[in-house]
Amino acid sequence: MVEYKAARSGRTFARVDRWLPSTRMCSDCGRINERMALNVRSWVCPCGGHHDRDVNAAINIKAAGQADVNDRGARVGPGPVPAPRGRTVTHQNTARVTRSVAGIAVV
């Protein structure tokens, strides 16, 4: 469903491997740590990087999706394309940012 919606909007769709260890792979150095229990929400890599589990996974998934060739050998297109002018949405409270996690604004 997401793939055809991306095509309809002129966006690039990239499939990322289902078994990518995105939550336990350091987004700074690429080291893959041993398995962690689900209640571990943050961790420190031996390279010195401090990671929130969800934010780290999002960074790794984005990087895997934007790679030139993914692990299945499929070519992945260029980076994101801005939405057409009529498709953009502005929410009321976008100017009021309450907190920020690793550069990601949360409203």
What is the Cβ-side half-sphere exposure of residue 66, based on CA atoms within 13 angstroms? 10
Identify the pLDDT of residue 107. Answer: 52
Map out the domains of the chain as residue ranges: 1-107
d(CA 37, CA 29): 22
Q: In sequence order, what are the beta bridge partners of 25?
A: 32
Q: How far apart are CA 83 and CA 90, in angstroms?
A: 13
pLDDT tens sequence for the chain (107 residues): 888 898 898 888 888 888 889 999 999 888 998 998 999 999 999 999 999 999 999 999 988 888 755 555 555 445 555 656 665 555 555 555 555 555 555 55
Query: Model pTM?
Result: 0.57
